[in-house]
Amino acid sequence: MRLSLFTIISALLVGCACSSHPQAAATASHLVFSSSPDLQWPQRGEDPYPWAKGENAEKILYERYTNASKEALGSDADFSAVRRVIVDHMKKEGSTVREIRWLSPTLVMSLVNSRFAIYWYIVEKKNDTWQVLTYYMEGVS
């Protein structure tokens, strides 16, 4: 039997913890994935407090970040572009892009510090251009 990369990642992200609770597993898999192999991201609140919304939303973000590759899956130019896109989007003085984690060569997550808050940023490369897909407030500093 041949397992696709999507199947393996799905199993890792949803996790065995949900298997003992079938209803929770169904909810978690609905939040994690759409019907296509693209990742589904939780809804978020409106600015200025874009908290992740929904059951397991914070857990999904945390698990994706911790399971993502610390090694760059893109070029040095990609790495620089991701960092630049996040800082430009934040438009906040003193913003710092912490470690960038790679979910794929075209999808990354990063934790970003501003002077007063911490954010999750999800950035995607489409048509050779990196752009912010979504972002969430992670905490207040």
Burial (0-12, 13-18, 19+ Cβ within 10 Å), 73: middle
Note whether residue 130 is domain-resident.
Answer: yes
* More confident of the two residues 11 and 121: 121
Domain extent, residue 97, equals: 44-140
pLDDT score at 37: 41
| Residue 120 near residue 89 (C-beta atoms within 8 A) | no
Note whether residue 81 is domain-resident.
Answer: yes
Q: How many domains does the chain have?
A: 1
Pairwise CA distance, residues 132 & 125, whole Å: 9
pLDDT band (50, 70, 90) for residue 10: very low
pLDDT score at 39: 84
Note whether residue 3 is domain-resident.
Answer: no
Start-to-end CA span in the chain (Å): 48
pLDDT band (50, 70, 90) for residue 124: very high
Note whether residue 89 is domain-resident.
Answer: yes
User: DSSP per residue over 10-41, as a string?
Assistant: HHHHH-GGGGG-HHHHHHHHHHHB-SSSSBPP
pLDDT one-digit tens code per residue, 21-68: 334 333 333 333 332 346 899 999 998 889 999 999 999 999 999 999
Note whether residue 1 is domain-resident.
Answer: no
